[in-house]
Amino acid sequence: MISRRLNESPVHVTLIDPDKQPPGRAAEMAVQAEDGGTHILLIGGTTGVDAQKLGATLCAVKEVSDLPMVIFPASSTSISCHADAIFFMSLLNSRDVRYVVREAARASLELSRSGMEIIPVGYLVFEPGMLVGRIGDVDLIARDDIRTAQEYAKATELFGMGFCYLEGGSGVSEPIPSGMISAVREVIDIPIILGGGISDAAKAEEAVRAGADIIVTGTMVERETDIEGAVRDTVSGMVRGWKDRRTN
Ligand code: 1GP
């Protein structure tokens, strides 16, 4: 059960976007991330990922890695029988009802028949949001608007979603501030997934210390030549942050 793994802390997730490299390269990245100690592979991207591209990357990765593979869907067509699980997501602060619920509803019957593990995730996008902010027509949460973030996060929990995903936007220079993460942590008990701008161990450590349970890194893995080393350092930073959090 991937949800059970995600409920342990801290969990490092490597995001692989099938639109960014050919399947063979994605497989190499997965092996190096696995050797560095990542726990889960998240496969998907905001644009340019059709079912064929998604399936090809999942198949290539499956041949070389035993890590659980979770789909990070962009729409109702982001489904593949080659994955182990899928984030069943609602982009709660989108202005477009398609991203709040319509795409999820469209996928729901096929998903429930697929046998794939379905992981319900409330997805909240913060400034600057980057590509997902634009494509998702997001009413971005300001980085210092603690009240709005807490309200959305609490709604995520009250809706019964298992995970609250705080997204700063892929490729952003700085992750969501630690003060914002800890403010969200104060009002919910469900695990917090944090993504966007985690580019080194220190940032991962700070985010986990503040209250993130699961860290997603994408750009770091795309840019690094030593993926294994970068992931290993990031995981070590997360463990340090987690120990501090437990003792404070
Ligand atoms: C996925 O946004 C994250 O949610 C990934 O962000 O590419 O900045 O690691 P990075």
Residue 170: give its domain's CATH number.
3.20.20.390
Q: What is the mean pLDDT of residues 71-100?
A: 95
| Joined tokens for residue 19 | 């639109």
Helix (H, G, I), strand (E, B) or coil at 122: strand
Instruction: Give the ligand 1 atom nearest the CA of 132.
Output: 2
Q: Give the β-pairing of 69-71 and 163-167.
A: unpaired
Q: What is the mean pLDDT of residues 43-69?
A: 95
Q: What is the mean pLDDT of residues 83-112?
A: 97
Name the domain count of the chain: 1
Instruction: Give the ligand 1 atom nearest the CA of 219.
Output: 7
What domain range includes position 113? 2-247
| Joined tokens for residue 223 | 């840019």
Helix (H, G, I), strand (E, B) or coil at 195: strand
69 lines ligand 1 (CB under 6 A): no
CA atoms within 13 A on the CB side of 229: 4
CA distance 125 to 115: 29
145-203 pLDDT, tens digit per residue, is 999 999 999 999 999 999 999 999 999 999 999 999 999 999 999 999 999 999 999 99
Measured from the Cβ of residue 108, the count of other Cβ atoms closer than 10 Å reads 14
198 lines ligand 1 (CB under 6 A): yes
Report residue 102 CA to chain centroid gap: 20
Q: What is the mean pLDDT of residues 37-66?
A: 95
Nearest to 90 by CA among 136, 31, 28, 23: 136
The fraction of the chain above a pLDDT of 90, given in percent, is 91
124 lines ligand 1 (CB under 6 A): no
Q: Are 14 and 221 spatial neighbours (Cβ–Cβ below 8 Å)?
A: yes
195 lines ligand 1 (CB under 6 A): yes
Whether the full predicted model's pTM is greater than 0.75, yes or no, is: yes
User: To test ligand 1's pocket by mutation, which of 46, 87, 215, 217 has the most ligand atoms within 8 angstroms of CB?
Assistant: 217
196 lines ligand 1 (CB under 6 A): yes
